[in-house]
Amino acid sequence: MKRLQFIIVCLLIISINSYAQHRILPEPVSANWGSGSFFINKQTTIVTTNNEEQKNLSALLNSYLQQAIGYPLPQANSRLAKNIIELQMDKQYDTTIGDEGYRLTVSPQKILIKANKASGLFYGIQTFVQLLPIEDLLSIKNKSTFKIPVVSITDYPRFAWRGLMLDVSRHFFTIQEIKKMIDEMVHYKFNLLHLHLTDDQGWRIEIKSLPELTKKGAWRVPRTGLWWDRQPPQPSEAATDGGFYTQEEIKELIKYAAEKKVQIMPEIDIPGHSLAAIASYPYLSCTKLNYQVNPGSKFYGVDDDALCAGNDSTYVFLEKVLSEIAALFPFQYIHIGGDECFKGFWKTCAVCQHCMKENNLKNENELQSFFIKRVEKILQSKGKKLMGWDEILEGGFAPEATVMSWRGMQGGIEAAEQKHHVVMSPTDYCYLDLYQGDPAAEPPTYSMLRLRDVYHFDPVPTAVDANLILGGQGNLWTESVPTFRHAEYMLWPRAFALAEVLWTAKEKLNLNDFIKRTEENLKILDRANVNHARSFYDAIIIPTKDAKGSLQLEFDTEIDGLEIYYSFDNTFPDQFSSHYNKADGKINIPKDAETLRVITFRQGKPIGKMITVPLADLEKRVKTD
């Protein structure tokens, strides 16, 4: 009898724990898994009130269900007792969950999503959809009931600013593509899309009072090769590559995003990165020369891509641009860039130098600060706040500016010390344009940011007032991202890691568990035709040199549970080839070997990409300093 009781208890524990492995991403603040299930069937009714926002959310939930399970549910505003999914707005403000939090309770009779605000209900709905078992979703043709595990979830975000940036200047993406990105990002509870709308390689937004910006500035000569290696525009060559958004299209996009609780922050990158504007209106630069929009060829320091900071007509231009931008975008912030401004032409410009003398500015950094402060005044006159990359700290900070820290966290730390707000998006954790796997097996880009490194991002440095850190953001620069499919490849799954560190309580972060949920969510992306990388399955090659300068190799993996096999003999390695144990340390490279091939397996099946790399290339990777 004792034995039977023991077995029953064991079975119960197993059944409860089997639900504990879920695919909710980001991980909720608390989830208490029970036993039993709620079954969705064709009679299950979505219950809500007549409130407009709630009715919209009910329709949204139904559209998600239609996509997921293949049929919509009846909706009602009366109180049914059983077989219901109820969306309920709290009558009294629930301070634990705040504006974006929610409580989601699944019992065998009903599912209840409660929140203070529509955005909380919206995130409760996202979590609810992630409770649908993936196996059921992958076989919906044969199914009409869908099992939801009993659970009680309380959830709210760690940070209010959970952003992704898309650079639409270096490559143009359509409104439809941006909407698809929004659709995906909200499943993972991002709430801000930063559009990098202008740069040297294209001006992407209609400014009605300055038509040349999109007549000329939105177009460049077509090129395909490696960025920075491309041929400059040739005389009389037609500029046919590019595009821009009309103000009507932007309005429609903002409305679409708002329905999904996403704010859109526009960036007009000034005073540097302005060649597309200068190509449109040559009076804007110090040299006033005629330039073409850059197609990805080297020009930095040669073509003058900075606005003349001493010329009043520059500020007249900016007043026009920022008036229209401020009227178009409801978000409180306008990002004005401020990064990487080449100041060489300011040094030799009589107008800039005169302006510096008149305003007692000691150097060009102070001229930049003078410029940013004038732009801040323009923004304030339109009821907007200024955000800029951390270079805006140089030469003195604009009084109310907020910093987006990209060259590491230091700019953000300095800004917070001066009591300014900060969004952290340091290159080493947040730059989604970097390699995510071995360069020999990835499309060419620069530097390295693996999935697990993103997961170790903490936007709040020690000894900084956490209240000043609004949150964090992943940035997808698109110099080497020519298509939207490739943008998706660069975003996912690294944006999963960002989503989790920006939402989930720090003490709940767990890399191994995150990887399990990532693998489940990649199946969901597959189902939705969203491209993604699987580079976290690939082997990591660690080349070093011994005291005599000979190449040595070690291997690693980003995740546990993978086997590494390799060859030096120009054959494809498989599970019968040389096997690498991490305890092996450095391996012997056979004499005269030229090429390494390495692949990972899991449970007897290949899972990582095969990486083929000449040993000469690995030698070059070893840092000699």
Binding site for ligand ACM (CB under 6 A): 339-340, 389, 406
Binds Zn ion by CB under 5 A, chosen from 76, 175, 239, 351: 351
Cis peptide before 26 (omega within 30 of 0): yes
| Binding residue (CB under 5 A) for Zn ion from 24, 349, 525, 551 | 349
Smaller CB separation from Zn ion, 59 or 351: 351
Question: How many residues contact Zn ion, by CB under 5 A?
Answer: 6
Which residue among the candidates 199, 241, 488, 538 is catalytic per the annotation?
199
Contacts of 8 (CB under 8 A, 6+ apart): none
Residue among 273, 335, 421, 532 flagged as catalytic: 273
Per partner kind, with CB cut-offs from 5 to 8 A, the member of ligand ACM, Zn ion, none near residue 149 is: none
Query: Rounded to the nearest whole angstrom, what is the least distance from the CB of residue 224 to ligand ACM in the complex?
Result: 23
| Cβ within 8 Å of residue 299, ≥6 positions away | 200, 232, 275, 305
Which residue has the CB atom at the shortest distance from ligand ACM?
339
Cβ proximity to ligand ACM, 340 vs 519, nearer residue = 340
Q: How far is the CB of 339 from ligand ACM (least distance, A)?
A: 4
Q: Which residue in 24, 308, 386, 525 binds Zn ion (CB under 5 A)?
A: 308
352: partner contacted, choices Zn ion, ligand ACM, none (Cβ within 5-8 A by kind): Zn ion
Residue closer to ligand ACM, measured from CB, 203 or 565: 203
CB 415 within 8 A of CB 403: yes
239 vs 351 by CB, closer to Zn ion: 351
CA atoms within 13 A on the CB side of 134: 18
Interaction between residue 288 and Zn ion (CB under 5 A): no
CB-nearer residue toward ligand ACM: 38 or 389:
389
How far is it, in rounded angstroms, from Cα 48 to Cα 345? 62
Instruction: Dig out the tokens for 149 from the structure.
Output: 């595990």
Q: Does residue 352 touch Zn ion according to CB under 5 A?
A: yes
- Residue 308 contact among Zn ion, ligand ACM, none, beta carbon within 5 to 8 Å by kind: Zn ion
* Residue 442 designated active-site: no
CB closer to Zn ion, 268 vs 367? 367
Binding at 286: pick from Zn ion, ligand ACM, none (beta carbon under 5-8 Å per type): Zn ion
Q: Which of 99, 136, 237, 340 is catalytic?
A: 340
| 364-397 CB burial, b ≥16 within 10 A, e <16 | bbbbbbbbbbbbbebbeeeebbbbbbbbbbbbeb
Nearest approach, Cβ of 230 to ligand ACM (angstroms)? 19
DSSP 402-420: EEEE-SSSHHHHHHHHTT-
Residue 400 Cβ vs Zn ion, minimum distance, rounded to whole Å: 26
CB of 396 to Zn ion, least distance (A): 19
CB of 105 to ligand ACM, least distance (A): 43
- Residue 286 in contact with Zn ion, rule: CB under 5 A: yes
Handedness of CA 58, 64, 68, 69 (dihedral sign): positive
417 flagged as catalytic: no
351 binds, among Zn ion, ligand ACM, none (CB under 5 to 8 A by kind): Zn ion
Pick between residue 183 and residue 340 the one whose CB is nearest to ligand ACM: 340
Q: What sign does the CA torsion over 541, 545, 549, 552 have?
A: negative
Residue 389 touches which of ligand ACM, Zn ion, none (Cβ within 5-8 Å per kind): ligand ACM
DSSP 476-519: E--TT--SHHHHHHHHTTHHHHHHHHHHS-GGG--HHHHHHHHH
Q: How far is the CB of 449 from ligand ACM (least distance, A)?
A: 13
- Secondary-structure breakdown of the chain: helix, strand, coil percentages, each rounded to the nearest 5: 35, 25, 40
- β-pairing, 605-606 vs 595-602, is antiparallel
**Annotation says 273 is catalytic:** yes
| Number of residues assigned to the chain | 625
- Do residues 195 and 264 touch, judged by C-beta distance below 8 A? yes
Could you count the other beta carbons within 10 Å of the beta carbon of residue 89? Answer: 18
Residue 597 backbone dihedrals phi, psi, to 5 degrees: -125, 135
Give the binding range for Zn ion (CB under 5 A) out of 94-102, 285-293, 379-387, 510-518.
285-293
- Asked if 341 interacts with Zn ion (CB under 5 A), we say no
Rounded to whole angstroms, the Cα distance separating 44 from 159 reads 35
| CA separation for the pair 504, 25 (Å, rounded) | 9
Q: Give the nearer residue to ligand ACM in terms of CB position, either 173 or 389.
A: 389
Residues known to be catalytic: 199, 273, 340
Question: Footprint of Zn ion on this chain (CB under 5 A)?
Answer: 286, 308, 310, 349, 351-352
